[in-house]
Structure formats: C-alpha cells, structure tokens
Structure 1
C-alpha cells in the first residue's frame, strides 16, 4: 500500500487511476509468473512518459512480490499494512491527546492497557496454523505448500 502511494505521488492526477489499476493487477495476480508479466507490462506501458514513477516501482520488485513465497491464506495480511496500523491507531489517538501529561512510565502503561483492551476485537490471522510451517522453512510456491515431490494445497 505504501509503494502504491509512493508511485502515485510521482504521477499527474489524471494518470493515477490508470496506473493504480495496473498496480492492482500486479498485486492481485494469482501466481508469481502472472504478477511478473503484469509488472513488466506496467513498466513497459508507463515508463516512456513517467520514468521516475516506474523507477520507484521497479527498485523494489522482488520484495514487493515476496508474498508469493508464503501461504495464500496469509496474502491478504501481507499485502496490506492495515493490521499493523489499526493496532496503533487507538494508541496514537490517545497519546496525542494526552501529550506531556505524565511520565514516560505512565505513557507506556497507558499504551499497554489500550492495546490490551483493543486486542479483544482483533481478528485471528487467516491461515494462522500455517505460520509454524513458515517458521520451520517449509517452501510455498504461489501460496501452495510444497511437500517433497508432491504439491499439496495449503489447508
């Protein structure tokens, strides 16, 4: 999401919807190969007129598409920064309002308690059971768990 914003700021407003659609085609592709094809198409299509925006996009190609090495169930969480930002939204709101009210320890305690209360409303990650496989180094190709010679769909 942040990469989209960085690319968009280097484009004229009139072109932003077209480029944004092309970027979504990259991130929403079903496989890494389709994503690379959409990526190359985007670069080829917009580079002649908007080289700075496309350079910004191209420099992080591998890291942007790294989510294809993880379970497909986790892709939604990886593609967005929302889970991280929503955790701190409540804390940010309260700490901004209470700026300079209390000591460092008071502020840290308040932040901890706010997160503790907020966690009651959090949703469990999709595919959380597959996180153990990821941590053990099990290979996933295009979101599908690889077991030796056989491919197995991630559960």
Structure 2
C-alpha cells in the first residue's frame, strides 16, 4: 500500500469523532480519486459501514477496528489443516477445527468495557463513543 494512502486511511479510523472522520474521509477521497479511482469508489460505497464503530462505546473501538483475532484464529486452522492433508473424514476435520478454535479461545484478550455490552445489547445509543443520556441530544445531532 502506498505510504500516503496508508497515512490518510489511518487519519480516518483514528479520528476522535465521526465529524473529524468524515472530514478526513472526504480529504482522502479528494486526494486519491484520480490515482486510485476503484479503491476510492469502494471506500465511498462503504463509508457508513466503515464509520459505524462511532455508534459504539469508545472502549470497544480497539476491538471493532481490528480483524487480528479472527485472522489469527483462521491462520492457525489453515496451517494445521494444510499440514495434515487428507485429515480423514469430514467429521474428523470438523472436530479438529473445533478443538483448534477452542484452544485459541483461551488466549484471546478480554474485551475492554465488558460491562458496556449490556447497554449495546439493549440498544442504548452512543455518539462518538459516549452514551447519549438524553433523547433530546440525539434529536439535535
């Protein structure tokens, strides 16, 4: 990836607020549309999904922004299943994958802000990582 694009993308997803992220997003699209039109079109089409984490508690952002845990788990499974070619039956392969994921689960980091999951599940609104206390605040935004 081009270093300038990488820095611009970093500015988007590390912005403190959704408004700052939109500003960085628009600047990135404007700066790189001529050189990388397909990539910028893809980004533009997924803008709201990419910035959806601003509607969750700030403590959860580090977990939402990364795919490392799932990539690491799949890498382990892929490595083991490749090493043991022809693992036997389908059931044996599924059992092995289950055990590998179960083993990997023990090393996963606990989610930050675990207590806030109750609020998320109960559809409590968050804006820029902070809980909206009053519904009139969400009407203003």
Provide the TM-score with structure 1 as the length reference: 0.81
Q: SS of the residue aligned with 2:76?
A: helix
CA displacement 1:84-125 (0-9 Å, x = unmatched): 112222222111111212111111111111222222211101
Is 2:39 aligned against 1:63?
Answer: no
Counterpart in 1 of 2:11?
A: 25
Q: SS of the residue aligned with 2:131?
A: strand
For 2:110 and 2:73, the matched residues in 1 are separated by 13
Counterpart in 2 of 1:5?
A: none
2:96 equivalent among 73, 88, 110: 110
For 2:74 and 2:16, the matched residues in 1 are separated by 31
| CA separation of 1:100 and 1:144: change in aligned 2, threshold 3 A | same
**Larger relative contact order (C-alpha < 8 A, sep ≥ 6)?**
2
Superposition RMSD in Å: 1.7
Is 2:29 aligned against 1:43?
Answer: yes
Counterpart in 1 of 2:129?
A: 143
Following superposition, the deviation at residue 48 of structure 1 comes to 3.2
For 1:57 and 1:126, the matched residues in 2 are separated by 28
Following superposition, the deviation at residue 150 of structure 1 comes to 9.0
| CA separation of 1:69 and 1:18: change in aligned 2, threshold 3 A | same
Following superposition, the deviation at residue 49 of structure 1 comes to 3.5
Q: SS of the residue aligned with 1:121?
A: coil
| CA separation of 1:141 and 1:101: change in aligned 2, threshold 3 A | same
Gaps of 5+ in 2: none
Gaps of 5+ in 1: 1-7, 9-15
Following superposition, the deviation at residue 148 of structure 1 comes to 2.1
